[in-house]
């Protein structure tokens, strides 16, 4: 299942529907452009708390999934733990895959 999620993240990046980084995702949430927030499980407590509270305020769906290394590798970068999807279709597909993967 992991391979599918990695592929979808790669497709989202190539189609410019993936944003990466704390500040970029915060800005996109405040502008109501973010459809899905993906947080790595190993980001700092403070980062997690701030982004989750902002996501709840802005009514953005979020999921905690994988590690910084796994997600960064899937997106072709290094050292990132915060990712956002700006397209609703990508958000729906990735959300479905993450939920299926975590329910197993």
Strands 18-20 and 61-64: unpaired
Cβ contacts of 75 within 8 Å, gap of 6 or more: 9, 10, 13, 18, 20, 83
Rounded CA gap, 42 and 15, in Å?
Answer: 27
Q: Looking at residue 13, what is its pLDDT?
A: 92
33-102-99-24 Cα dihedral, nearest 10 degrees:
0
The answer to whether the CB of 92 falls within 8 A of the CB of 41 is: no
What is the per-residue pLDDT for 79? 86
| Domain spans in the chain, listed from the N-terminal domain onward | 2-103
Predicted local distance difference test score (pLDDT) of residue 87? 94
Report residue 61: phi and psi, to 5°. Answer: -70, 135
CATH T-level assignment (fold) for domain 2-103:
60s Ribosomal Protein L30; Chain: A; (3.30.1330)
Average confidence (pLDDT) per 10 residues, the chain, 104 residues: 83 93 93 94 93 94 92 88 94 92 78
In this prediction, residue 3 carries a pLDDT of: 81
pTM for this entry: 0.91
Q: What is the pLDDT of residue 75?
A: 87
Pairing type for strands 36-39 and 61-64 reads parallel
């Amino acid at each position: 299942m992991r391979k599918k999620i990695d592929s979808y993240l790669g497709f989202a990046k190539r189609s410019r529907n993936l944003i990466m980084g704390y500040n970029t995702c915060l800005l996109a949430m405040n502008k109501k452009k973010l459809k899905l927030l993906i947080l790595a499980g190993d980001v700092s407590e403070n980062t997690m708390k701030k982004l989750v509270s902002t996501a709840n305020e802005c009514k953005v769906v979020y999921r905690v999934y994988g590690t910084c290394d796994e997600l960064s590798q899937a997106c072709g970068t290094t050292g990132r733990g915060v990712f956002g999807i700006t397209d609703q279709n990508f958000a729906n597909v990735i959300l479905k895959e993450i939920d299926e993967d975590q329910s197993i």
